[in-house]
Structure 1
Amino acid sequence: MASNGCETPLIGVSTYLEQARFGLWELPSAVLMRSYLDSIVAAGGMPVMLPPVGRWLPEHVSRLDGLVIAGGADIDPSRYGQAPHQETGTLRLDRDAAEFGLFHLALEADLPVLGVCRGMQLINIALGGTLHQHVPDVCGSQSHNPRPGVFGSNEIKLAPGSVVAGLIGDQVTVHCHHHQAIDQLGSGLTAVGWSCDGITEAVELSEASFVLGVQWHPEEDSTDVRLFEGLVQAAVRRKLP
C-alpha cells in the first residue's frame, strides 16, 4: 500500500518481557508475535518494537508516527479501583507502567493509536473506565475465550458512520481471545462495536484524530489489514504539511 509520497510511517508496537527460547539460548527477552509486524508492513508502515523498560518520554514518542498497543496479560485491577477477581491472571506491572505512559504521551502528541484486546482495555482504563474482570460472569459463555492458546470466532456489529465501520464495514467476523471486557466507558470514549451477547468490542475517542480500540485480534487475519491501514493512513495525514 502506498503512503501518498511521504516517508514510510514508523509505527511503534508495545511488547512483552517474557522468557524466550531461541537458538541455544533461553533468556528473559522482549518479544511480540510476528503477526503484528507483518500486518503493519502490509498496511504500508514500518514497525518499531517498544519494550516495557525504562521511562518513555515525549522526545521518544515524537519520533513515532503511530502506536499499536498490543494484546496480552490482564491489567492490574487496582488501576480501576478493584481487587483482583479469582480468575484474573498473572499481572505484568512492567507492561502496565510502560503502556499507560505511552498512551498518555501519544494522546498529548495527537499520535494515531490502535489498541488491540488488552490495548483497548488499557485505553479505557487510562481514560477512567472500568472492566468486567471475567466475561463468563457477565454473558455466561466461554465463546470469547474457548480455551488456552486457541482463538474463538465472533460476529461483531459496528455502528454505522463510525470510523471502524468506515474501515471494515458494519458487520465482521473476528478472531477473539479474552476473558475481560469493558464495563464502564472511559471519559470521551464511544462504544461502536458489540458482539451478539452485548460485550463492547470496539471504541473510539472522538476528541482525538485517530484513537481506536478493538477487543479482537485483527493481526491474526493476514488477508485483512484494513484497521492497520486506517492507522497508517492517519499517520500519513499527520505527517503532511
Structure 2
Amino acid sequence: MSENKPENAGTTGSPSAATPTPTGAPNTATALPPSHEDATRSPAKDAATEEATVRSSTDDPLSASSVTPEDPRSARLRDAAEARSAAAESTARQEAAVHERDARRAGSHAGIPGTQAGTQAGARAGAHVGTQAGTTSAGTGATGAKFEPAVKPAQVVKPVPLVSEPPADVSISPASAPFGAVDVDVATEAPATTARAAGSPPPGFGAAPDFSAANPPPPNALPPTPPRYLRQSDSAWSVFGRIIAARARQLFDRAGQRITQRTLRIGVSARIFHPEPGAMGLRGKTLQYLEESIAHWVMSRDVLVFMIPTVGHQGMLHPSNIRLRDYAKHLDGLLLQGGADVSPQTYAEAASSHEWPGDRVRDMYELELLHEFIESGKPVLGVCRGCQLINVAFGGTLYQDIATDVPTAGAHVNENYDQHRHGVHFPDGSTLLNMFPGRRDAIVNSIHHQAVKTLGRDLNIEAVSASDGIIEAVRYRRAPFVMGVQWHPEFHRAGGPELLDCTPLLDTFLRVARETRF
C-alpha cells in the first residue's frame, strides 16, 4: 500500500477525477492543507455557501440567467475537495495495479491463468475503491458540495501495466479449490523476513572490510617447499647468484634457438681418384670428388652439403692441424657414398683375384671418419660401398665377388649400371617397415658385385634380396642412426612408379641429425 495517501482523502466525483490516471505516473494532484479560516468558519457561513451553490447549479434552467458570483472561499473548498478526491483515486488505482500484478505472478507460479487471478484482484480492488470513494463522498457532504463517486462499487478496474514495486506476499491454497478457482490472498505489504527481492544486494554488501582478519592461502596454493626468495636465509649474494643463473639460462636458450634454426650441414665422404703411373696432367694427381646425384639428393631437403677431404697425417706438401674429428664436431651428419671396392686387407683377408684389390687408402680414411661421427653421436648413412664399410667397421666380412662366391645368387650388376634392378624384402623387426608403412617388398637398383658375408657385431639385417637372400641393408643398433643400404637411393626418382621412393629414408636421417646436433 502507498504511504503517500492523505489521512483525510477528499471526495471524488469532480471533473478532474473522472479522467483515469496512468499507473506509474507521478501524482501531481496535491491536497491543499486546510487554512485557519476554514477551521473557524461559522455554521451560518456554511449555510450561505450551500445556498449559493444550489442557486448556481446548472441543473435548474431557470437559474441560468440569475447566476451569482461564487464565493472565493467556496471555490477554495471545492478545489481542495477535488484535489483530495484525485489523490484518493490515484492511490486506489496504484493499489489495484499492484494487487493485479501480484495476483498474476501468483497465478503463474500456482499453475492458474494470470488473467483470472488478475480479474479477481481487480474486482476486489474495484470494490475497495468504490467503497472508499463512497465513504469519502459521504464525509464531504458536510461542506455542501455535491459530488459523484469516482469508481462505482460494481465497476472493475481495467488491467494496467506493471510498475516497479516490491513483490507482495501471495498465499495460494490449491488443495482447497479446483484448478482455475484457486483463491488468491494478496497481502497489503510484504514482510521483511521473506526471501530477498530480485536485484537487491546480498547481506553485508557495502560493509567496511575487516583488515585484521587472517585469510591464509589454500594449502595447495604454495609449493611444498618455499621458493628461495622467501627463505629467511636469503642474502644479497644469493640474489646476485640467481640473477647470474637467469642470465646464463637466457644465453643458453638463445644459443639453442640459433642451433635449432640453423640449416643442417651434412658431410659427404670423398671419392678418391689415384694418379696413374707415368701419367701427366690431372691423371698424375690425386683427385677427390663426389658424384653429382648424391649431393643433389641430399640438398633436395634444403640442407648444406660439404665434401670432407682426406687430411695429411705424415707431413705432406702442406701439413695442417685439421683432423677428421673437427669435421665431425662441426657437421651434423655423415653420408658415405659409393665407389671403389673395400680392400680385402681391411677385413683381414687376401684378395682372391687381382681384379678386386679395393681401395685401402680410402678404407682407412672413411673408417676414421665413421668412427669420429659415431663417437660424436651424429647419424651416418652408407650407400652401396658405405653399407659394406659399416659392416667391416664392426668386424664383418664381405663376398669379394657374388658371382664367384655364391654361384646360386642372381645377378647384382651388369652393363646397364644404374638401370639394373631387382626386388628386396623387409624382414620382421626391420626399421624400414616403419619408414615405408605397408611395404614388405620393393624394387631397387643393383650396382654391386660385393656384398655382406658375415654380419658385423651389433648389426641388424634391414633388407635382403628377394631372389637369393643377399643382405641389402644393415643397421647398427647401439647408435641413434647408423644404417647402410646396398642400393643407390640417389638414382631413384622421388615418387617413381616402379623404384622405391627413398625420401622417407633421407628424412629419417636428417631428422636424427637435427635431434643430435647439440
TM-score by length of 2: 0.42
1:96–1:51 distance in 2 versus 1, CA, 3 Å: same
Q: Which moved more, 1:153-162 or 1:25-34?
A: 25-34
1:34-183 equivalences in 2 (<5 Å): 34-54=292-312, 56-86=323-353, 88-136=355-403, 137-141=405-409, 143-147=411-415, 149-168=417-436, 169-183=439-453
1:21-42 C-alpha deviation (Å, 9 max, x unpaired)? xxxx845422111111111011
2:457 aligned with 1:199: no
Q: Which of 1 and 2 has higher RCO (CA within 8 Å, sep 6+)?
A: 1
CA RMSD in angstroms comes to: 2.3
Q: 2:306, 2:425 → 1: CA distance?
A: 32
1:13-52 equivalences in 2 (<5 Å): 13-18=268-273, 26-27=282-283, 28=285, 29-52=287-310
What letter matches 2:408 in structure 1? G
What letter matches 2:402 in structure 1? V
Q: 1:213, 1:11 → 2: CA distance?
A: 16
Name the structure 1 match of 2:515. Answer: 237
Unaligned runs of 5+ in 2: 1-259, 276-280, 314-322, 495-500
What letter matches 1:152 in structure 2? H
Unaligned runs of 5+ in 1: none
Deviation at 1:124, TM superposition (A): 0.5
Higher helix content, 1 or 2: 2
2:266 aligned with 1:11: yes
Deviation at 1:228, TM superposition (A): 1.7
1:150–1:235 distance in 2 versus 1, CA, 3 Å: closer
User: What secondary structure is seen at the aligned counterpart in 1 of 2:365?
Assistant: helix
Q: Which runs of 4+ in 1 moved over 6 A?
A: none
Name the structure 1 match of 2:195. Answer: none
User: What secondary structure is seen at the aligned counterpart in 2 of 1:239?
Assistant: coil
1:237–1:201 distance in 2 versus 1, CA, 3 Å: same
Deviation at 1:237, TM superposition (A): 1.4
Q: 2:353, 2:269 → 1: CA distance?
A: 27
Deviation at 1:16, TM superposition (A): 1.3
Calculate percent identity across the aligned residue pairs. 34
Deviation at 1:54, TM superposition (A): 2.7
Pick aligned residue for 2:488 from 217, 231, 235: 217
Deviation at 1:89, TM superposition (A): 2.5
1:230–1:179 distance in 2 versus 1, CA, 3 Å: same
Structure having the higher Rg: 2
Higher strand content, 1 or 2: 1
The count of residues paired between Structure 1 and Structure 2 equals 233
